[in-house]
Protein backbone atom coordinates (compact mmCIF):
# COMPACT_ATOMS: atom_id res chain seq x y z
CA UNK A 1 0.00 0.00 0.00
CA UNK A 2 1.33 3.42 -0.88
CA UNK A 3 2.55 5.81 1.76
CA UNK A 4 0.88 9.25 1.98
CA UNK A 5 3.94 10.78 0.33
CA UNK A 6 3.98 8.33 -2.56
CA UNK A 7 0.26 8.59 -3.06
CA UNK A 8 0.64 12.22 -4.14
CA UNK A 9 2.09 11.09 -7.48
CA UNK A 10 -0.44 11.13 -10.35
CA UNK A 11 -1.73 7.69 -11.39
CA UNK A 12 -0.35 5.92 -14.48
CA UNK A 13 -3.31 7.15 -16.53
CA UNK A 14 -2.20 10.76 -15.97
CA UNK A 15 1.35 9.89 -17.00
CA UNK A 16 0.06 8.54 -20.30
CA UNK A 17 -1.86 11.75 -20.88
CA UNK A 18 1.27 13.71 -20.10
CA UNK A 19 3.14 11.79 -22.78
CA UNK A 20 0.41 12.60 -25.27
CA UNK A 21 0.66 16.28 -24.38
CA UNK A 22 4.42 16.27 -25.03
CA UNK A 23 3.95 14.62 -28.42
CA UNK A 24 1.49 17.33 -29.38
CA UNK A 25 3.85 20.12 -28.36
CA UNK A 26 1.78 21.50 -25.46
CA UNK A 27 2.48 21.86 -21.74
CA UNK A 28 2.83 18.62 -19.84
CA UNK A 29 0.54 17.50 -17.06
CA UNK A 30 3.53 17.59 -14.76
CA UNK A 31 3.35 21.38 -15.06
CA UNK A 32 -0.41 21.72 -15.31
CA UNK A 33 -1.36 19.01 -12.77
CA UNK A 34 -1.34 21.20 -9.64
CA UNK A 35 -3.95 23.46 -11.24
CA UNK A 36 -6.29 20.46 -11.54
CA UNK A 37 -5.54 18.28 -8.51
CA UNK A 38 -5.60 20.22 -5.22
CA UNK A 39 -2.39 19.29 -3.38
CA UNK A 40 -1.32 22.57 -1.73
CA UNK A 41 -2.56 21.44 1.68
CA UNK A 42 -3.24 18.09 3.27
CA UNK A 43 -4.96 16.98 6.47
CA UNK A 44 -4.72 13.44 7.80
CA UNK A 45 -7.47 11.82 9.85
CA UNK A 46 -7.39 8.07 10.38
CA UNK A 47 -6.90 6.40 7.00
CA UNK A 48 -7.92 9.57 5.11
CA UNK A 49 -5.50 12.08 3.61
CA UNK A 50 -7.54 15.11 2.56
CA UNK A 51 -5.98 17.29 -0.15
CA UNK A 52 -7.18 20.81 -0.89
CA UNK A 53 -6.00 24.17 -2.18
CA UNK A 54 -7.12 25.97 1.00
CA UNK A 55 -6.27 24.63 4.47
CA UNK A 56 -8.78 22.21 6.03
CA UNK A 57 -8.35 21.75 9.78
CA UNK A 58 -8.92 18.50 11.62
CA UNK A 59 -12.01 19.99 13.30
CA UNK A 60 -13.53 21.05 9.97
CA UNK A 61 -17.08 19.66 9.49
CA UNK A 62 -15.89 17.72 6.41
CA UNK A 63 -13.16 15.93 8.37
CA UNK A 64 -15.51 15.35 11.28
CA UNK A 65 -18.00 13.79 8.84
CA UNK A 66 -15.32 11.27 7.82
CA UNK A 67 -14.57 10.51 11.48
CA UNK A 68 -18.26 9.94 12.24
CA UNK A 69 -18.53 7.66 9.22
CA UNK A 70 -15.74 5.46 10.56
CA UNK A 71 -17.48 5.28 13.92
CA UNK A 72 -20.87 4.49 12.35
CA UNK A 73 -19.46 1.73 10.15
CA UNK A 74 -17.57 0.21 13.08
CA UNK A 75 -20.62 0.30 15.35
CA UNK A 76 -23.38 -0.68 12.93
CA UNK A 77 -21.54 -3.02 10.56
CA UNK A 78 -18.08 -4.32 11.46
CA UNK A 79 -15.52 -3.03 14.00
CA UNK A 80 -12.75 -4.12 11.64
CA UNK A 81 -13.59 -1.23 9.33
CA UNK A 82 -12.03 1.14 11.85
CA UNK A 83 -8.64 -0.59 11.60
CA UNK A 84 -8.13 0.48 7.97
CA UNK A 85 -4.50 1.71 7.76
CA UNK A 86 -5.10 3.78 4.61
CA UNK A 87 -4.18 5.84 2.83
CA UNK A 88 -7.49 6.82 1.29
CA UNK A 89 -6.84 9.93 -0.77
CA UNK A 90 -9.60 12.55 -0.66
CA UNK A 91 -9.37 15.43 -3.14
CA UNK A 92 -11.64 18.39 -2.35
CA UNK A 93 -11.60 20.83 -5.26
CA UNK A 94 -12.42 24.51 -4.92
CA UNK A 95 -15.83 24.46 -6.61
CA UNK A 96 -18.04 22.54 -9.02
CA UNK A 97 -16.47 24.14 -12.10
CA UNK A 98 -12.99 22.97 -11.07
CA UNK A 99 -14.35 19.50 -10.31
CA UNK A 100 -16.09 19.17 -13.67
CA UNK A 101 -12.94 20.34 -15.44
CA UNK A 102 -10.96 17.63 -13.66
CA UNK A 103 -13.62 15.07 -14.50
CA UNK A 104 -13.78 16.02 -18.19
CA UNK A 105 -10.04 15.89 -18.68
CA UNK A 106 -8.84 13.00 -16.52
CA UNK A 107 -11.99 10.84 -16.54
CA UNK A 108 -14.02 11.78 -19.64
CA UNK A 109 -15.86 8.45 -19.65
CA UNK A 110 -17.55 9.30 -16.35
CA UNK A 111 -20.79 11.33 -16.10
CA UNK A 112 -20.54 14.87 -14.65
CA UNK A 113 -21.77 14.38 -11.10
CA UNK A 114 -20.92 15.69 -7.64
CA UNK A 115 -18.39 13.14 -6.44
CA UNK A 116 -16.87 9.80 -7.24
CA UNK A 117 -14.72 7.04 -5.79
CA UNK A 118 -12.00 5.32 -7.79
CA UNK A 119 -10.21 2.12 -6.78
CA UNK A 120 -7.61 0.11 -8.60
CA UNK A 121 -5.65 -2.56 -6.76
CA UNK A 122 -4.81 -1.04 -3.35
CA UNK A 123 -5.12 2.56 -4.51
CA UNK A 124 -8.31 4.27 -3.29
CA UNK A 125 -9.27 7.87 -4.07
CA UNK A 126 -12.31 10.11 -3.51
CA UNK A 127 -12.90 13.21 -5.63
CA UNK A 128 -15.41 15.96 -4.81
CA UNK A 129 -15.62 19.73 -4.29
CA UNK A 130 -16.62 22.36 -1.73
CA UNK A 131 -20.40 22.68 -1.89
CA UNK A 132 -23.56 22.58 0.23
CA UNK A 133 -23.60 18.74 0.24
CA UNK A 134 -19.91 18.15 0.84
CA UNK A 135 -20.37 16.17 4.08
CA UNK A 136 -22.96 13.89 2.48
CA UNK A 137 -20.86 13.33 -0.65
CA UNK A 138 -17.75 12.60 1.39
CA UNK A 139 -19.56 10.06 3.57
CA UNK A 140 -21.07 8.29 0.57
CA UNK A 141 -17.84 7.96 -1.40
CA UNK A 142 -15.63 7.35 1.64
CA UNK A 143 -17.98 4.53 2.64
CA UNK A 144 -17.10 2.85 -0.67
CA UNK A 145 -13.41 3.27 0.16
CA UNK A 146 -13.67 1.82 3.68
CA UNK A 147 -15.89 -1.05 2.54
CA UNK A 148 -13.43 -1.97 -0.18
CA UNK A 149 -10.54 -1.79 2.27
CA UNK A 150 -12.32 -4.18 4.61
CA UNK A 151 -14.12 -6.56 2.25
CA UNK A 152 -12.54 -6.14 -1.19
CA UNK A 153 -14.88 -5.80 -4.16
CA UNK A 154 -18.53 -6.39 -3.30
CA UNK A 155 -21.64 -6.54 -5.50
CA UNK A 156 -22.67 -3.24 -7.04
CA UNK A 157 -26.15 -3.04 -5.48
CA UNK A 158 -24.83 -3.84 -2.01
CA UNK A 159 -21.95 -1.39 -2.30
CA UNK A 160 -24.40 1.37 -3.21
CA UNK A 161 -26.97 0.27 -0.65
CA UNK A 162 -24.44 0.48 2.17
CA UNK A 163 -23.11 3.83 0.93
CA UNK A 164 -26.69 5.15 0.86
CA UNK A 165 -27.36 3.78 4.35
CA UNK A 166 -24.31 5.51 5.84
CA UNK A 167 -24.52 8.63 3.65
CA UNK A 168 -26.42 10.78 6.13
CA UNK A 169 -25.90 8.43 9.06
CA UNK A 170 -28.15 5.68 10.43
CA UNK A 171 -29.29 7.97 13.25
CA UNK A 172 -30.63 10.65 10.90
CA UNK A 173 -34.35 10.01 11.34
CA UNK A 174 -35.40 12.69 8.87
CA UNK A 175 -33.30 11.12 6.15
CA UNK A 176 -34.82 7.71 6.89
CA UNK A 177 -38.37 9.11 6.86
CA UNK A 178 -37.72 10.76 3.49
CA UNK A 179 -36.44 7.50 2.00
CA UNK A 180 -39.40 5.54 3.36
CA UNK A 181 -41.80 8.12 1.95
CA UNK A 182 -40.28 7.77 -1.52
CA UNK A 183 -40.44 3.98 -1.30
CA UNK A 184 -44.08 4.17 -0.20
CA UNK A 185 -44.79 6.27 -3.28
CA UNK A 186 -43.02 3.63 -5.40
CA UNK A 187 -45.25 0.90 -3.95
CA UNK A 188 -48.37 2.89 -4.83
CA UNK A 189 -47.26 2.96 -8.46
CA UNK A 190 -47.06 -0.84 -8.50
CA UNK A 191 -43.37 -1.31 -7.74
CA UNK A 192 -42.30 -4.42 -5.84
CA UNK A 193 -38.83 -5.27 -4.51
CA UNK A 194 -36.76 -7.60 -6.69
CA UNK A 195 -33.41 -8.42 -5.13
CA UNK A 196 -32.55 -10.94 -7.83
CA UNK A 197 -32.80 -8.17 -10.45
CA UNK A 198 -30.56 -5.91 -8.36
CA UNK A 199 -28.01 -8.69 -8.15
CA UNK A 200 -27.95 -8.90 -11.95
CA UNK A 201 -26.78 -5.28 -12.31
CA UNK A 202 -23.05 -4.96 -12.90
CA UNK A 203 -22.71 -1.48 -14.46
CA UNK A 204 -23.18 1.66 -12.41
CA UNK A 205 -25.21 3.42 -15.13
CA UNK A 206 -27.75 0.57 -15.00
CA UNK A 207 -28.91 1.68 -11.56
CA UNK A 208 -31.85 4.06 -11.42
CA UNK A 209 -32.75 6.26 -8.42
CA UNK A 210 -35.36 3.64 -7.49
CA UNK A 211 -32.64 0.96 -7.50
CA UNK A 212 -30.64 3.06 -5.05
CA UNK A 213 -33.71 3.33 -2.82
CA UNK A 214 -34.37 -0.40 -2.95
CA UNK A 215 -30.71 -1.19 -2.23
CA UNK A 216 -30.88 1.07 0.82
CA UNK A 217 -34.09 -0.66 1.94
CA UNK A 218 -32.54 -4.15 1.82
CA UNK A 219 -29.55 -2.95 3.85
CA UNK A 220 -31.90 -1.26 6.32
CA UNK A 221 -33.86 -4.50 6.67
CA UNK A 222 -30.80 -6.67 7.25
CA UNK A 223 -29.04 -4.35 9.69
CA UNK A 224 -32.26 -3.96 11.69
CA UNK A 225 -32.06 -7.65 12.65
CA UNK A 226 -28.84 -8.20 14.67
CA UNK A 227 -29.53 -11.90 15.23
CA UNK A 228 -30.03 -13.06 11.64
CA UNK A 229 -30.04 -10.31 9.05
CA UNK A 230 -26.77 -8.65 10.05
CA UNK A 231 -24.81 -11.95 10.30
CA UNK A 232 -26.15 -12.98 6.89
CA UNK A 233 -25.08 -9.64 5.41
CA UNK A 234 -21.61 -9.84 6.96
CA UNK A 235 -21.16 -13.42 5.76
CA UNK A 236 -21.99 -12.29 2.25
CA UNK A 237 -19.61 -9.35 2.48
CA UNK A 238 -16.75 -11.47 3.79
CA UNK A 239 -17.16 -14.55 1.63
CA UNK A 240 -19.52 -13.87 -1.26
CA UNK A 241 -18.68 -12.57 -4.72
CA UNK A 242 -20.62 -10.95 -7.55
CA UNK A 243 -21.78 -14.36 -8.77
CA UNK A 244 -23.20 -15.53 -5.45
CA UNK A 245 -26.84 -14.72 -4.81
CA UNK A 246 -27.82 -13.29 -1.46
CA UNK A 247 -31.39 -13.85 -2.67
CA UNK A 248 -30.99 -17.61 -2.20
CA UNK A 249 -29.39 -17.25 1.21
CA UNK A 250 -32.21 -15.02 2.43
CA UNK A 251 -34.94 -17.20 0.88
CA UNK A 252 -33.60 -20.15 2.91
CA UNK A 253 -34.27 -18.03 5.98
CA UNK A 254 -37.76 -17.03 4.90
CA UNK A 255 -36.81 -13.50 3.85
CA UNK A 256 -38.06 -12.23 0.50
CA UNK A 257 -39.81 -9.30 -1.16
CA UNK A 258 -42.84 -9.74 1.12
CA UNK A 259 -40.55 -9.36 4.14
CA UNK A 260 -39.20 -6.10 2.83
CA UNK A 261 -42.67 -4.79 2.01
CA UNK A 262 -43.77 -5.63 5.55
CA UNK A 263 -40.76 -3.73 6.85
CA UNK A 264 -41.65 -0.72 4.73
CA UNK A 265 -45.20 -0.80 6.03
CA UNK A 266 -43.97 -0.68 9.63
CA UNK A 267 -44.17 -4.36 10.54
CA UNK A 268 -41.22 -6.05 12.25
CA UNK A 269 -38.89 -8.13 10.06
CA UNK A 270 -38.67 -11.85 10.59
CA UNK A 271 -35.75 -13.18 12.58
CA UNK A 272 -33.24 -14.78 10.23
CA UNK A 273 -31.30 -17.94 10.99
CA UNK A 274 -27.55 -17.94 10.42
CA UNK A 275 -25.95 -19.98 7.64
CA UNK A 276 -22.34 -19.75 6.36
CA UNK A 277 -21.51 -18.71 2.81
CA UNK A 278 -18.52 -20.29 0.98
CA UNK A 279 -15.49 -18.02 0.44
CA UNK A 280 -14.52 -16.60 -2.94
CA UNK A 281 -11.70 -14.52 -4.39
CA UNK A 282 -12.27 -11.11 -5.98
CA UNK A 283 -10.29 -8.12 -7.28
CA UNK A 284 -11.15 -5.55 -9.93
CA UNK A 285 -11.10 -1.88 -10.82
CA UNK A 286 -14.06 -0.14 -9.24
CA UNK A 287 -15.62 3.23 -9.89
CA UNK A 288 -18.50 4.56 -7.82
CA UNK A 289 -20.21 7.90 -8.40
CA UNK A 290 -22.61 10.02 -6.39
CA UNK A 291 -25.92 11.19 -7.88
CA UNK A 292 -25.82 9.28 -11.17
CA UNK A 293 -28.08 9.71 -14.18
CA UNK A 294 -29.69 6.66 -15.77
CA UNK A 295 -27.36 6.76 -18.78
CA UNK A 296 -23.77 8.07 -19.09
CA UNK A 297 -23.04 10.84 -21.61
CA UNK A 298 -20.98 10.00 -24.71
CA UNK A 299 -17.22 10.19 -24.36
CA UNK A 300 -15.82 13.37 -25.98
CA UNK A 301 -13.41 13.02 -28.89
CA UNK A 302 -9.66 13.38 -28.60
CA UNK A 303 -9.50 16.89 -30.06
CA UNK A 304 -12.19 18.14 -27.69
CA UNK A 305 -10.35 16.68 -24.72
CA UNK A 306 -7.07 18.28 -25.83
CA UNK A 307 -8.90 21.59 -26.30
CA UNK A 308 -10.34 21.36 -22.77
CA UNK A 309 -6.86 20.75 -21.43
CA UNK A 310 -5.52 23.83 -23.22
CA UNK A 311 -8.48 25.91 -22.05
CA UNK A 312 -9.84 26.38 -25.58
Mean pLDDT by 10-residue block, N- to C-terminus, for the chain (312 residues)? 32 36 27 68 97 95 96 96 95 95 89 89 95 95 97 94 94 92 94 95 91 96 90 89 75 91 69 37 49 43 52 52
pLDDT 10s digits, 233-255: 999 998 875 556 899 889 888 89
pLDDT at 305: 52
Q: CB burial class (10 A; 0-12, 13-18, 19+) of residue 269?
A: middle
Sheet holding 41-45, edge to edge: 41-45, 48-52, 88-93, 123-129, 115-120, 286-290
Contact predicate 77/154, CB 8 Å: no
What is the C-alpha to C-alpha distance for residues 218 and 160, in angstroms, rounded to an integer?
Answer: 11
pLDDT 10s digits, 75-133: 999 999 999 999 999 999 999 999 999 999 988 888 778 999 999 888 999 999 999 99
What is the C-alpha to C-alpha distance for residues 18 and 309, in angstroms, rounded to an integer?
Answer: 11
If DSSP codes are grouped into helix, strand and coil, which group holds residue 156? Answer: helix
Contact predicate 138/115, CB 8 Å: yes
DSSP state of 15: H
Q: Residue 1 contacts by C-beta under 8 Å, 6 or more apart in sequence?
A: 85, 86, 87, 122
Contact predicate 90/48, CB 8 Å: yes
0.85 exceeded by pTM: no
Q: CB burial class (10 A; 0-12, 13-18, 19+) of residue 281?
A: exposed
Q: Residue 203 contacts by C-beta under 8 Å, 6 or more apart in sequence?
A: 156
Largest Cα separation within the chain, whole Å, is 66
Amino acid sequence: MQSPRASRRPPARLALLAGLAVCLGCSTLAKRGPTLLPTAHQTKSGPFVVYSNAPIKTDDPAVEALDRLRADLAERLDPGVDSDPGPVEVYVLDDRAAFLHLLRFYFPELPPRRAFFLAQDDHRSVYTFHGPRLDEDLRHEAAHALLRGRFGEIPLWLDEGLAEYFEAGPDDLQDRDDRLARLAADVKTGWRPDLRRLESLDQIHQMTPRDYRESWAWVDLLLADPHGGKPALLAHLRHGDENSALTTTLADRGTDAATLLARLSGDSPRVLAQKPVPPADRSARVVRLQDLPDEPPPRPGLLRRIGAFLGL
